[in-house]
Amino acid sequence: METVRSSVTKSIGILTSGGDCPGLNAAIRGVCRAAHDRYAMNILGIANGYRGLIDGDARFLKPEDFSGILTRGGTILGTSREKPFKKGANDDLEKNFTKDKVMAIKENYHKFKLDCLVVLGGNGTNTTGHLLRQEGLNVIGLPKTIDNDIQGTDLTFGFNSALSIGTDAIDRLHSTAQSHNRVMVIELMGHKTGWLTLYAGVAGGGDVILIPEIPYNIKVIGRHLIERARSGKTFSIVVVAEGALSRKEAGMDKKERKRYREETVTPSIAYRVAREIENETGMSTRATVLGYVQRGGIPSASDRVLATSFGTAAADLLARGEYGRMVTLIGNEISSVDLSVPADKTKLVPLSHYMLDTALAVGTCLGNSLPIN
């Protein structure tokens, strides 16, 4: 690719926001190396996500700051879940506080004389980036999340690493499930979508996979597990997303569902499903919640490559002055979409997705007796 150099040195800010995940440092390195070495840009590292931009907590980065971080987990910049545009319901004080946060961001953006802000994060981060763009700031987004649930891109960095961790955990449960003739329920992350659970479940040979997109029927699950036992299969693995819900819950509104779940008095969905399976089948069942382990550790080779590619592509957009974009992977091509595409949206697993049919074809129960079309 031809190097684009401007006669005026650009200054960019970079931050990581939301939950951490493997690949953030690789993406930071990709942006900074290309921006500094190829385009001679000044780079301002902003601490702790949007909170750092509100507080003016930032410093200009030197090459040694983003050297040797390719394989490191987490983020050298720190992160937070600060949402500067979030307002309290009918609370004038909170609304004014929100207005103050946005004003502080704009003031610090101009104080640091930034030409563009690069934000690395998930749905919330890129939505905030889109809103800041509407406030007149130049913003470029990079899609990061282990959930792979950002609209406009086929893949997010962080997903592959979490998939490897989840699959390894499922693999390790097989031996103890077989030794004790038990049903093992393992809970993976995925509050609104089931990409991680579906892929890890298929990769790990899960016998039942439960995702938010397909409300489950415990009787369907029970029949499947009993049939497995009758056929001589003495153990089963149930892989469940943290946001999975029953058919009964699917018919409730948000408040009803919250109240219903409080009444079940279980730490999480894995424990509830385990209890339901025991009640339905009489089988010995145990629950495991993988939790934040999925977001930790060094990034996989695939995530290092993807994050680096996204980072260098962001630097190219910066050099060309193509702001208001989010870097994406569509098929095998690195591209970009307008920041309005991922804003306030969640990429769900389509019921027509080939991976659902793949799971059904190898005998996996998806918790619902209805065919997936």
The CA distance from 269 to 101, in Å, is 36
In degrees, rounded to 5, the angle at the alpha carbon of residue 275 between the alpha carbons of residues 271 and 281 is 140
Single-letter amino acid code for the residue at 192: K
Quickly count: other Cβ atoms within 10 Å of residue 325's Cβ. Answer: 22
346 burial via Cβ count (<10 Å: 0-12, 13-18, 19+): middle
In degrees, rounded to 5, the angle at the alpha carbon of residue 370 between the alpha carbons of residues 366 and 373 is 90
User: β-pairing, 42-46 with 58-60?
Assistant: antiparallel
Catalytic residue numbers, as ranges = 147
Is residue 133 within 8 Å of residue 139, measured between CB atoms? yes
